[in-house]
Amino acid sequence: MNGYVIIGDNGEEFGPATADEIRNWISDRRVDAHTLIRLEETQEWKRASEWPEFARSLSAFLVAQQAHSGQPASAPTYAPRANKLAITGLVLGILSMFTCCCPILPIPGLACSVTALIQIREKPSLYSGKGAAITGLALSLISLGLFVFLQLSGASVGGFFDGLIGGLIPL
């Protein structure tokens, strides 16, 4: 028997559930036309309105909603939410630019940004923030590259500042 998996409002996956359970969730307003659903054996997500087995339940819900409110029913709007890892990667990338002599921030910045890009690619209707993830990735890579360059060239921050100050203030 094929089970269904849904993505709830909180972004968590629920299931497997039977088609009857999904229909009950529709009548309980836990699932709407924009809820993402997939068969448990597949990775392809589709909105509930794209599944023929749920079309009648969704239509009945919209008709009941229209009759109750006295106004035409409209499908609820759904906007992808910002991926928290993308935002974290961006913040770590920005902070890593100020500490390019230390690889503590760029490495987690890279990890967060890459993970966010993977999540956004896999579930584009659920997550946004691709630009933030790419920017965080780029800043973390630049910072890490500067760190590697400074290490390979034998430069140290202290020596850099000593040379800078020594060149500005002759002794």
pLDDT band at 1 (very low <50, low <70, confident <90, very high): low
Residue 22, pLDDT > 90, answer no
Does residue 76 fall inside a structural domain?
Answer: no
Q: 3-class DSSP state for residue 25?
A: helix
| Tokens representing residue 164 in the block | 């800078």
pLDDT tens profile 111-164:
999 999 998 888 877 788 899 999 999 999 999 888 888 777 776 555 555 555
DSSP 70-126: SS---PPP--PEEPHHHHHHHHHHHHHHHTTT-TTTHHHHHHHHHHHHHHHHH-TTT
- Same structural domain, 95 and 161: yes
- 63 with 108, same domain: the answer is no
End-to-end distance of the chain based on CA atoms, in angstroms?
84
Paired with 47 in beta bridges are 36
CATH number of residue 36's parent domain: 3.30.1490
90/164 same-domain check: yes
Question: Could you give the number of structural domains in the chain?
Answer: 2
pLDDT tier at 55, thresholds 50, 70, 90: confident
| Residue 74 within a domain | no
> What pTM was computed for the model?
0.50
Q: Which of 69, 90, 116 is the last residue of a domain?
A: 69
DSSP string, 41-65: T----EEGGG-HHHHHHHHHHHHHH
